[in-house]
Amino acid sequence: MKKKNILELSSLFKTTIYGLQMGYAETHSSNSLVIKPSSIEECREIINYCNREDIKICFRGGGFSYGDMILNTNELILDMSSMNNILVWDSDSGQISVEPGVSFASIFKTSLLDNWTLTSCPGGMDVTIGGAISNNVHGKDAWKNGNFGQQVTSIELLLSNSDVLIIEKNDPIFKAVIGGMGMFGLVVKINIQLKKIPSPYVRVRTELTNNITESIDLLELRKEDSDFSVAWVDAFIKGDSIGRGYVSSASWVYEDLKTTELELEKSLTKSKYIFGFLPSKPVWCVGRLFFKPAVLKLLNKLHYFLAKVSFAKSNAFSSPVLFTDYNFMHNKIPDIKEVYRPFGFYEFEPLLPRVEGKETLKDLIKLCQKHKCESLLCGVKAHKSDDFLISFEGDGYSIGVDIQIAGREKVKVKKFVKELSEFIISNQGKIYLAKDENISKISFQKMYPNYKDFLILKKSLDPNHRFSSDMYKRLMT
Ligand SMILES: Cc1cc2nc3c(=O)[nH]c(=O)nc-3n(C[C@H](O)[C@H](O)[C@H](O)COP(=O)(O)OP(=O)(O)OC[C@H]3O[C@@H](n4cnc5c(N)ncnc54)[C@H](O)[C@@H]3O)c2cc1C
């Protein structure tokens, strides 16, 4: 972007900042101009200006995507977090209408008081609804409720020609905008049908497993009698115990229990302390010095051992836990990414089909071990299929692998990414784009064969590629 444009835009819009921007994983940064609009009119003015001056626009919600899908080197980022109003809330029907910058936390603060919930909630409570739509995010209920788009009833989309398009569920454009990574237009208003729940509380059951086969069997079994499930896997252990860990499942509590505004506020306020008492910054700064594979291996052992001691009575259910405390458990270990600084981390989240699932997951863990790319915490979730154009879906299992960059040679990481991509493709799997910044264009095309239809629609709705991102340039141009 030219200096003249930066100066003009800065004088036209109050909330404009020029500087280095990063994805959540903080692996690299690039300069962009960031504008935080507060109304649709302002968004329209910015788009018109960019049309005249040929500036590319990338949208950003909460900035919780890990890599380059929220970067737009030397161009413009439109940060939607200030358009964060709940426009309509009907506690009788559970219908809610929101601006795109509204977070999961703010919807829960309202809806859980009346026993209504969003489904498909990611682990980050400040993720925005615009961001959730554009990655079609998933939660621990993915195998039951699918991905986020299932509950959305209609969307208002501001196009690059300034028109606002209202799109409903059965519209092919709807199927593309959900999971569309902001490439078709700016989502400016969303209508959602929330799900009625018996109470805002869940009971959690934690069951130990001796290996990945048992974990997968248990994930399957819990589909029959629970609403949420996730398996935690020790990525370091080898041999017969490979992938040992525990499965945490949860079910809504069918009792007349009510929450309060105060309890929700507490649950949805970010803690500064790890487990409520350890000051996070100093702990992570010291932790960084010990963040080495040998220590991580030990921590995984310790984690398993502690789980064994605390959950000795397998099958035992917890007392009722507020859903937001269960779902946003990351909140209990705040600022964990401090430990990866200053070089950040890569997360790879592959989804592999259920057929042969146990064996492929075992092989994948072995592949990580071969490259010394085992994850500190490794979560496995079950998923189901949907019909959105580009979507992290399918009847199978996803597994999260995150590796710190510090202490690793670039060539070795590249080799791992190449082998991992080949492994995933040969097993008909895919990598979650919200967390990716590594796969090649060819790998992307193999993992997401609908990309051709995606690009045809992109051409018709945004012929001048006004909406873009570093990821779009990497994978689709
Ligand atoms: C701690 C943590 C836990 C997570 N857990 C999960 C999980 O369990 N499941 C899961 O699926 N994901 C998970 N994620 C990833 C996260 O949910 C997604 O990356 C999500 O899309 C981030 O939303 P955001 O509001 O931060 O949007 P951003 O990351 O800022 O943007 C995401 C995408 O949406 C586009 N976009 C944003 N706003 C708009 C708009 N108004 N109109 C059009 N496009 C827009 C952006 O251009 C970008 O392509 C997690 C992330 C973190 C940090």
Q: At 316, which helix (H) or strand (E)?
A: none
Residue 153's Cβ-count burial label (10 Å; 0-12, 13-18, 19+) is middle
Q: Are 169 and 153 in contact (CB under 8 A)?
A: yes
**77 CB within 6 A, ligand 1:** no
Q: Are 267 and 250 in contact (CB under 8 A)?
A: no
Whether the pLDDT of residue 382 is over 90: the answer is: yes
Whether the pLDDT of residue 313 is over 70: the answer is: no
**Ligand 1 atom having least distance to the Cα of 100:** 41
pLDDT in tens, 28-42: 999 999 999 999 999
Pocket test for ligand 1, best of 43, 56, 64, 102 (most atoms within 8 A of CB): 64
Band (pLDDT 50/70/90 cuts) for residue 314 is: low
| CA of residue 155 relative to chain centroid, distance | 20
User: What is the average per-residue pLDDT within 10-17?
Assistant: 93
pLDDT at 276: 80
Contacts of 149 by beta carbon, 8 Å cutoff, 6+ apart: 133, 136, 178, 179, 386, 388, 391
Lowest mean pLDDT among 56-60, 174-178, 400-404: 400-404
Scan for tokens 């199978």, then name that residue.
396
Whether the pLDDT of residue 315 is over 70: the answer is: no
**Closest residue CA from atom 32 of ligand 1:** 131
- Residue 60 Cα to ligand 1 middle (Å): 8
- Residue 5 Cα to ligand 1 middle (Å): 28
Q: Are 47 and 162 in contact (CB under 8 A)?
A: yes
**69 CB within 6 A, ligand 1:** yes
**Closest residue CA from atom 34 of ligand 1:** 131
% of the chain beyond a pLDDT of 90: 86
pLDDT at 188: 98
Lowest mean pLDDT among 13-17, 216-220, 387-391: 13-17
- Residue 133 Cα to ligand 1 middle (Å): 8
Whether the pLDDT of residue 333 is over 70: the answer is: yes
pLDDT at 312: 67
pLDDT at 195: 98
- Residue 182 Cα to ligand 1 middle (Å): 11
**Ligand 1 atom having least distance to the Cα of 138:** 11
**124 CB within 6 A, ligand 1:** yes
Lowest mean pLDDT among 250-264, 283-297, 311-325, 430-444: 311-325
pTM for this structure?
0.97
Whether the pLDDT of residue 439 is over 80: the answer is: yes
Q: Are 199 and 115 in contact (CB under 8 A)?
A: yes
pLDDT in tens, 254-268: 999 999 999 999 999
User: What is the average per-residue pLDDT within 223-234?
Assistant: 97
pLDDT at 212: 96
Whether the pLDDT of residue 362 is over 70: the answer is: yes
The Cα 336–Cα 266 span in angstroms is 20
Band (pLDDT 50/70/90 cuts) for residue 211 is: very high
Phi and psi angles of residue 201, each rounded to the nearest 5 degrees, phi first? -115, 150
- Mean of pLDDT over the chain: 95
Q: At 465, which helix (H) or strand (E)?
A: none
User: What is the average per-residue pLDDT within 169-188?
Assistant: 97
**121 CB within 6 A, ligand 1:** no
pLDDT at 354: 93
Residue 214 neighbours by CB distance under 10 Å? 20
Pocket test for ligand 1, best of 43, 135, 346 (most atoms within 8 A of CB): 135
- Residue 450 Cα to ligand 1 middle (Å): 21
**146 CB within 6 A, ligand 1:** no
User: What is the average per-residue pLDDT within 434-442?
Assistant: 97
pLDDT in tens, 47-74: 999 999 999 999 999 999 999 999 999 9
Coil, strand, or helix at residue 18? strand
User: What is the average per-residue pLDDT within 373-399?
Assistant: 95
Q: Are 192 and 145 in contact (CB under 8 A)?
A: no
pLDDT in tens, 133-144: 999 999 999 999
pLDDT at 5: 97
User: What is the average per-residue pLDDT within 312-333?
Assistant: 85
**471 CB within 6 A, ligand 1:** no
**467 CB within 6 A, ligand 1:** no
**434 CB within 6 A, ligand 1:** yes
Whether the pLDDT of residue 274 is over 90: the answer is: no
**Ligand 1 atom having least distance to the Cα of 128:** 25
